[in-house]
Chains A and B, each alone.
Chain A
């Protein structure tokens, strides 16, 4: 049977068959790989949280275990700093977490940040409560998202239980310039955040500013030369996010 390959009907049939075949193949592959990708995303998030509280040598393989060990609870806060009272970790008598439904963990702050229609006051704000290896220090870990030069930047800031002093910070980015803005995830940028204070001594909220030409004092860190827009993005992100969490950290009398 001779088929005229140049006829319209053959072209149409060929296209339809191709689209159906390719479509189902890709759907199948996407569905098969989804669980792996979700796990990677969750692991990455755990690694970032652990990095903020200063846990060392976290890898993708041990992130989940260390997270169970260090993160003892979480809260979901409203814009004005109230706890939504979602109980998301059930503990036994000794304080060990039996189940962790991870309600706060599942809040996608990046997605909320992208959603321009969602007002800040309608968003929920996750807060993670973690302990160090010795178990003698409690941290509040605050996730944050902002804008860099080329794409989103995000990070986690861990506060000591005085709710004033920063215990550590970790930052990451999607596509900042390598060698310039991308350096926000390097230790030399992250480690100066430690021991900075987000409130002044008389209780005024000041955040921690990322300052060009050398930050000094309790409320400033040094910006990255050549990465001005990314540095400003980190500055804005910290000020905005901590400004929202301050309602919880230090409620107005």
Chain B
């Protein structure tokens, strides 16, 4: 009886506290963008429209989960001297798969994301998770970790793009449905009449940095433990 209990205990449930923490931690207290400040390049570049941010998030989620899983499964086979190269090959091939699939089935969005899908390869978050987590953990926790970090990255991306698209273009866009403008044409200060002007600065990359900065500010205001001592 007691033997059975120990056997059951040694098999960790799929959503144990520890595993859940792997998902929830990167959402806020250990967010890859706002806390670790990784993956900033793409956060600045593709957050002009929400649909781009959503597709980017899904792409990163796919690359991250498949990559973490692959690396974790192979972790005892990978020669340590070439492990970074192996990680690079894994992430590069996954990104090529995503890029080609987007070009085949979501051509309009692939056009907009253009070079940034390719740049998922250099997204520091992914290589960081491969090296720091998947190389040392079992496949299931690695998947959890990948989901957590990708969602942590994704929600910041979507939040930033919402702000930028609403104020920059007066619209919201969803993949498949396209862009929906909600500011009536008559309000716009084009030609005669109108009183409203889109904030063109929101469309430029520096504003993404400002929006991310505001998120970091709010986050540290709510959780004082995140503030570093100097």
**A interface residue numbers (CB < 8 A to B):** 5-6, 10-11, 14-15, 18-19, 22, 25-26, 29-30, 33, 36-37, 40, 43-44, 60, 174-175, 178-179, 188
Contact = CB atoms under 8 A, between A and B. Distances in A.
Contact of A5 (B80, B111, B190): B80
Closest 6 CB pairs of A and B: A36-B104, A179-B203, A40-B107, A33-B104, A11-B79, A33-B100
Contacts of A18: 86, 89
Given A29-B97, A37-B103, A40-B107, A178 B79 contact: no
Secondary structure type dominating chain B contacts: helix
B200 interface: yes
B77 A14 contact: yes
B204 A179 contact: yes
A134 B224 CA distance: 70
Contacts of B89: 18-19, 22
A14 B204 CA distance: 45
A11 B81 contact: yes
Interface string B19-41: 00000000000000000000000
Contacts, number: 60
B168 A179 contact: yes
Interface string B191-227: 0000000001001100000000000000000000000
B103 A179 contact: no
Contact of A174 (B48, B114, B190): B114
Nearest to A10: B79
Contacts of A5: 77, 79-80
Nearest to A151: B114
Given A175-B114, A179-B200, A15 B82 contact: yes
A11 B89 CA distance: 15
Given A174-B114, A175-B114, A179-B200, A40 B81 contact: no
B79 A22 contact: no
Given A14-B78, A22-B93, 4 more contacts: A11-B82, A18-B86, A33-B101, A179-B169
Chain A binding site: helix, strand, loop or mixed by DSSP? helix
Contacts of B77: 5, 14
Contact of B104 (A10, A37, A44): A37
B80 A6 contact: yes
B96 interface: yes
B115 interface: yes
Contact of B100 (A15, A37, A174): A37
A25 B93 contact: yes
Contacts of A25: 93
A31 to B, nearest CB: 10
Nearest to B106: A40
Interface string B60-77: 000000000000000001
